[in-house]
Homo-oligomer: A and B are copies of this chain.
Amino acid sequence: MDADKLRALLEQVRSGALDVEQAVQAMRSLPFDAVGDFASLDTHRALRRGFPEVIFGEGKSLEQIREIFLRLSEHSRTVMATRINAEQAAALLPDLPEAVYHPAARILYRHTPPAKLLTGIMVLCAGTTDIPVAEEAALTAELMGNRVERAYDVGVAGLHRLLDRLPLLRKARVLVVVAGMEGALPSVVAGLVSAPVIAVPTSVGYGASLNGLAALLAMLNSCANGVSVVNIDNGFGAGYSAGLINRLGQD
């Protein structure tokens, strides 16, 4: 343990076993170890607050996921792996005790919910094909200890579907808004509320949607104040940011 190592070294200085110049020399390599030390302390703090340990599953082998999942499970009550498809889940579940698979969100997780869930996060999406990304966001926030409100299929071409949810929207402390195609929903939502909006473009669309670039650009150019944006299909990132934001004033 680095802090211990530091202590031992200081004891040697105190006892005279090491002179000051030798100690300075020995500490040359200390800073960076210490950064690591600081970081892990912080990790402990984060864990106490219910942050999940996260594995980005894409491009990893079954063995890699299994091993990391088990290792993280040793010191975290919540572990999640994103971008896991049904076949991978089926292969992994037998080896991962307490693990659960959420097929829409494509997340494999192990979770003991906290005694008290935070409220304040709402996840919206424009069309039914945006639901997997929205669920990835919602479940991520849930695994961070939140109760999440959902409003799906409320795209701007049928405005009444959205306006029907206005009272709910106005209650949220932070909103995740998911949309593909022209990506207009975050602008409309941000114009109706005074809470921060995390916009998630999806790759839903074809042709000039350019696999989600059209929605991404639209969201970055939102004429409404209070909108920030994450990568295409990055439901996890949006849910995580929402989780960080919603903790403010509640922990």
A residues at B contact (CB < 8 Å): 3, 6-7, 10-11, 13-14, 16, 20-21, 23-24, 27-39, 42, 45-46, 51, 54, 58-60, 64, 126-129, 155-161, 163-164, 166-167, 170, 173-174, 181-184, 187-188, 190-192, 194-196, 198, 201, 203-234, 237-238, 240-241, 244-246, 248-250
Contacts and interface: CB of A to CB of B under 8 A. Distances in A.
A64 B240 CA distance: 30
Contact of A157 (B13, B46, B187): B187
Select the residue from A28, A210, A240, A244 with max chain B CB neighbours within 10 A: A244
Contacts of A214: 214, 217-218, 220-221
A181 to B, nearest CB: 4
A207 B182 contact: no
B208 A226 contact: no
Given A14-B14, A217-B209, A31 B39 contact: no
B33 A32 contact: no
Contacts of A228: 198, 228-230, 237-238, 241
Nearest to A224: B157
A188 B196 contact: no
Nearest to A59: B129
Nearest to A51: B194
Given A59-B129, A223-B156, A31 B34 contact: yes
27 contacts: A3-B24, A7-B24, A10-B23, A13-B13, A32-B164, A32-B166, A38-B160, A60-B128, A156-B184, A156-B191, A157-B190, A157-B222, A183-B218, A184-B188, A188-B188, A196-B245, A205-B221, A206-B233, A207-B220, A214-B214, A214-B221, A215-B218, A217-B218, A220-B231, A226-B241, A228-B229, A229-B230
A169 B123 CA distance: 29
Contacts of A248: 173-174, 245-246, 248-249
A39 to B, nearest CB: 5
Contacts of A205: 221
A222 B182 contact: yes
B230 A220 contact: yes
A13 B34 CA distance: 19
